[in-house]
Amino acid sequence: MKKIFIILIAGLIIYGCGGQKKEKPVESQNKFNFDTTDIKAVPVANQNQLYLLRYKLQKGNTYNFRVTAISKDEQTISNKDTTMSQNMEQTMIYNLGFDVTDIDADSTMEMKTTINSIKVDGSAGTQKIQYQSGLTKDTAEIHKYAEYESLVRNPFNIRISKLGDLLDIYRVEGIVNKLLKIRGYADSLKSEEKITLKNDITESVLKPILNQIFRKMPDNKVSKDTTWKIEQPATSLMVFQVENTTIFTITGIENLNGDIIADIQGGLKTKISGKNTLNQQGVNYEFTKPETSGGGKIYFNITKGLLQKTKTSSSVKIGVSMESRGQKGNKKEIITNTNIVEYLQ
C-alpha cells in the first residue's frame, strides 16, 4: 500500500500564522485556482534592520492555505530497433485549515489540521486521473481514489515550533480507518499492519504537505543579504547517494499592505557519490550521473508570523543503459516538480 500514498513529491524541500477567528473553511468556486505569480510589494526604506523569522500563530485563530504540487515525468526508452516515449503529468491541489488549539510556554503551537478539499488532474499515457472531493460520488470512483477520499475533512493534530520544525503528527487513526473502510479491509488488518499503514500515511503524505507550509527558519536575526543553509538527510537515487543542501538568501525586506515581508531566494546544491555500474541477475547496468537543479521564492510574513507564499521547483535528469546476452537498451528520464503554497486567510 505504500505506493498508493506517494501523493506529494517535494520539488524543492526548503524546510522551514495573524489570522482570523474560526470561520468556515475557504469553499469558494475559486478554491482550486492557484496563483503562480510573484508577490508585488514595496521595499522598505531600511533594508539593514534586523528581524527574527518566527511563526506566531494565535491561539483560537484559524489559518487557511492552498498547496499545489505539479509534477512531470518524461521517459524515453530505446533499443537497437525502437524508441518509445512516455510522459506523465499531474497537478494536485490541497486546501488546508489549521485551528490553533494551544501554545506552550516555549511558543510551540498545537493545531487541529483539516484537509478541506483536494483536486487531482493527471495523465500517464492514455490513462487519465481525475478526482475532486465533494464531486466524486460514484462508489467505484471513490474506491479507486480512496487514498484521497480518506484525507478529506478527517482532522489530525500537529505540533510546530516557532522556527517551523514539524515536531509531531498524531491522531491520524481517523484517516487510516476511513481508508480501510473504503477499501473493505476495516476488520481484516492486524494491529501491527494498521500501525505500519499509519506511519506510511504520516511520513509519505502528511509530512511532505506540511513541510511545504511550515519551513525551517534560522534562529538568528536577519536582514537583507543574510544567507543560511540547511543540509538535508542523504537519500538514495538508483545506485547513487545524494546529499542536498538548500541555500537561502534574503533578497529584500518589503511592505505588503502594512505587513513586513522577507523576500527569500532558495537554491539547491547537490553532492552525488557512488559507483555507476551494477550487475544484477545477468544484466549489466551503467548509470549516468544524475543532473539536478532547484530553486525558488519564499515570502515570509514577519508581521503575521507565517509563510505568505512560496513557489519552488526542482528537476533531475537520470539515465541508464542495460545489456544482457548481447541485447542493449537505454532509458532516459527527466523529472520536474513545482510546489506552490498560498496563504489564503
3-state secondary structure of 280: strand
* Grid cell listed for 32: 482550486
Question: Looking at the DSSP assignment, which residues form a beta bridge with residue 114?
Answer: 97
Neighbours of 84 (CB within 10 A): 10
Question: What whole-number distance in Å separates Cα of residue 20 and Cα of residue 64?
Answer: 10
- CA distances to 229, 277, 329, 330 from 321, in Å: 35, 10, 6, 4
Question: What whole-number distance in Å separates Cα of residue 255 and Cα of residue 241?
Answer: 42
Q: From first to last of its 345 residues, what are the pLDDT tens digits of the chain?
A: 333 333 333 334 333 333 444 444 444 558 999 999 999 999 999 999 999 999 999 999 999 999 999 999 999 999 888 999 999 999 999 999 999 999 999 999 999 999 999 999 999 988 999 999 999 788 899 999 999 999 999 999 999 999 999 999 999 999 999 999 999 988 888 889 999 999 999 999 999 999 999 999 999 999 999 999 999 899 999 999 999 999 999 999 999 999 999 999 999 999 999 999 999 989 999 999 999 999 999 999 999 999 999 999 999 999 999 999 888 999 999 999 999 999 998
Q: Where are the beta strands (DSSP E) in 1-82?
A: 20-21, 42-43, 61-79
Domain edges within the chain: 44-343
Q: CATH assignment of 44-343?
A: 2.30.230
Question: What whole-number distance in Å separates Cα of residue 61 and Cα of residue 342?
Answer: 18
DSSP 152: B
Question: What whole-number distance in Å separates Cα of residue 331 and Cα of residue 76?
Answer: 6
Helix axes 191-201, 173-183, angle to 10 degrees: 110
Q: pTM of the predicted model, to two decimals? A: 0.89
The answer to whether 312 and 341 are in contact (CB under 8 A) is: no
* Amino acid letter for position 345: Q
Neighbours of 220 (CB within 10 A): 10
- Please report which helix (H) or strand (E) contains residue 141, including its range: helix 139-144
Question: Looking at the DSSP assignment, which residues form a beta bridge with residue 308?
Answer: none
* Grid cell listed for 47: 533594508
